[in-house]
Amino acid sequence: MLEVNQLECRRGDRRLFTELDFSLSSGTLMHVRGRNGSGKTTLLRTLCGLFTPERGEIRWNGESIRELGEEYRRDLLYFGHTNGIKGELTGLENLSIAATLDGDRVEETAIWDALKRIGLAGFEDLPTRMLSQGQKKRVALARLILTRARLWILDEPFTALDVDAVALLQTLIADHVATGGIAALTTHQEVPLTSGQIEQLNLGN
């Protein structure tokens, strides 16, 4: 359960939002909406603990994420504007490093399966800089299949993806929420859920 209390964030000298309150229990999907510059990305980065809020507190299962530190990050998966994969490394290497850093022991076969499911069969051994934009993004999204994180924070995950990949990502998110996970995302794409509930958060006016 993720709780946000009286959150206030500033970028430079500009106040983005103030007195933000919400809580997400397991099996919830949150859509964050707002104009450009309304602070969507900043909010997501604050939820990750990357950005220090001016005021307010974020709690994960009742404890402040500042104090939880690495314990919180074990439960967290963040997907930002950059893919977070190395162009010189193959998809396989990228994913296995990511898994090691997440503290998961993932079998190589699991990574092969994940890459196959995301539609990159046959590209596993290519350095990812050889791949197209959409394919790179797919490599990064394959982490969603492998991860055991309970909380997914996804910033514009659908951009640069083709129809098939969008459908797959929608399924992944829906499955995650259906199995009791929490997801927060900024997107213009609707995600049809099989079970669980949807929250809407509008930033700015």
Partner 1 sequence: MLRVFWCILSRDLTLAMRRRTDVLTTLFFFVIVVSLFPLGVGTESKALQIIGPGVVWVAALLASMLALERLYAADYEDGTLEQMLLTAQPLSLLVLAKIAAHWLLTGLPLVLIAPLVGMQYQLADSAIGIMMLALLVGTPILSLIGSIGAALTLGLRGGGILLSLLILPLYIPVLVYGAGAVEVSQIDLADTQPYFALLGAFLLIALVFAPVASSAALRISLE
Partner 2 sequence: MALNWFKFASPATFYPIAGRLIPVFWILTLLLLAIGLYWGFFETASQLGGSNPQKEYYRIIFIHVPSAWMSMWLYIVMVAWAAIGLIFNTRLSFMMANAVAPTGAIFTFLALWTGAFWGRPSWGTYWDWDPRLTSELVLFFMYIGYMALHSAIDDTRRADRASALLAIVGLIMVPVIFWSINCPDPNQCAALHQRSNLTRIDGNILFSMLTMTLAFWMYSFATTFMRLRGIILTREAENTWVQDLLNARGRT
Q: Which is nearer to partner 1, 98 or 144 (CB)?
A: 98
Parallel, antiparallel, or unpaired for β 55-60 and 2-11? antiparallel
Beta strands in 76-196 (DSSP E): 76-79, 151-155, 182-186
Structure tokens at 57: 């507190």
Binding at 15: pick from partner 2, partner 1, none (beta carbon under 5-8 Å per type):
partner 2
Out of 3, 8, 10, 89, point to the residue binding partner 2 (CB under 8 A).
Answer: 10
* 14 backbone dihedrals φ, ψ, rounded to 5°: -105, 135
Task: Provide the minimum distance between the beta carbon of 40 and partner 1 in the complex, in angstroms, as a whole number.
Answer: 16
Nearest to 143 by CA among 77, 89, 74, 45: 77
Q: Which is nearer to partner 1, 1 or 89 (CB)?
A: 89
Helix (H, G, I), strand (E, B) or coil at 80: coil
Binding at 12: pick from partner 2, partner 1, none (beta carbon under 5-8 Å per type):
partner 2
Q: Which is nearer to partner 1, 89 or 178 (CB)?
A: 89
Task: Provide the minimum distance between the beta carbon of 20 and partner 2 in the complex, in angstroms, as a whole number.
Answer: 18
Q: How many CB atoms lie within 10 A of CB 95?
A: 26
Task: Provide the minimum distance between the beta carbon of 16 and partner 1 in the complex, in angstroms, as a whole number.
Answer: 13
Structure tokens at 41: 């990305």
What is the distance between the alpha carbons of residues 96 and 101, in angstroms, rounded to a whole number?
Answer: 9
Q: Which is nearer to partner 2, 54 or 162 (CB)?
A: 54
Task: Provide the minimum distance between the beta carbon of 12 and partner 2 in the complex, in angstroms, as a whole number.
Answer: 6
What is the distance between the alpha carbons of residues 44 and 40, in angstroms, rounded to a whole number?
Answer: 6
Question: What residue type is 104 in one-letter code?
Answer: D
Q: Which is nearer to partner 1, 100 or 195 (CB)?
A: 100
Does residue number 52 form part of the binding site for partner 2 (CB under 8 A)?
yes
Total number of residues that touch partner 2 (CB under 8 A): 7
The residue assigned the tokens 């022991």 is: 105
Does residue number 13 form part of the binding site for partner 2 (CB under 8 A)?
yes
Which residues contact partner 2 (rule: CB under 8 A)?
A: 10-15, 52
